[in-house]
Amino acid sequence: DAKTTQPPSMDCAEGRAANLPCNHSTISGNEYVYWYRQIHSQGPQYIIHGLKNNETNEMASLIITEDRKSSTLILPHATLRDTAVYYCIVRGREYGNKLVFGAGTILRVKS
C-alpha cells in the first residue's frame, strides 16, 4: 500500500481557502486518493476521491499532480466548522481493500 505523508497541523483564516497537501510518492497506477475528515469526537466523513483527474464536489476540490505523487485538498471558503483532522488515504478500489487511516492533518480554522 502506498504510504502518505501529511503535515501534522495547519491553520487557516475563516473565509479563506484551506489547501491541505498530501505526498504519496509510491502510489501505484490503480490506487485512488481518498480524503476523509473527522470532527472532534465524531466518526469520519468522506470528502472526495480521485484517480488522476482533478475532482470537485460540493465540499471540496482535489488536485492531483500529473505524476500522481502528491495531491492537494482544497476547501474553498473555510469556516469554523471545517476545523477537523483531515486524512489522506491511498488505496486500490478492489473489494477486499480496507480504509486504513494515518495520522492526518489537524486543520484549525480561526476567526
Partner 1 sequence: GAVVSQHPSRVICKSGTSVKIECRSLDFQATTMFWYRQFPKKSLMLMATSNEGSKATYEQGVEKDKFLINHASLTLSTLTVTSAHPEDSSFYICSARRAGRTSLWEQYFGPGTRLTVT
104 forms part of the interface with partner 1 (CB under 8 A) = yes
In angstroms, the CA 37 to CA 94 distance is 22
Angle at 34 between CA 109 and CA 11, to 5 degrees: 15
Among 14, 23, 32, 55, binds partner 1 (CB under 8 A): 32
102 forms part of the interface with partner 1 (CB under 8 A) = yes
Distances (CA, A) of 43 to 8, 46, 54, 71, 101: 19, 10, 26, 24, 12
In angstroms, the CA 46 to CA 25 distance is 23
29 forms part of the interface with partner 1 (CB under 8 A) = no
Residues 79-98 binding partner 1 (CB under 8 A) are 85, 87, 91, 93-95, 97-98
38 forms part of the interface with partner 1 (CB under 8 A) = yes
Contacts with partner 1 by CB under 8 A lie at 32, 34, 38, 41-46, 49, 85, 87, 91, 93-95, 97-104
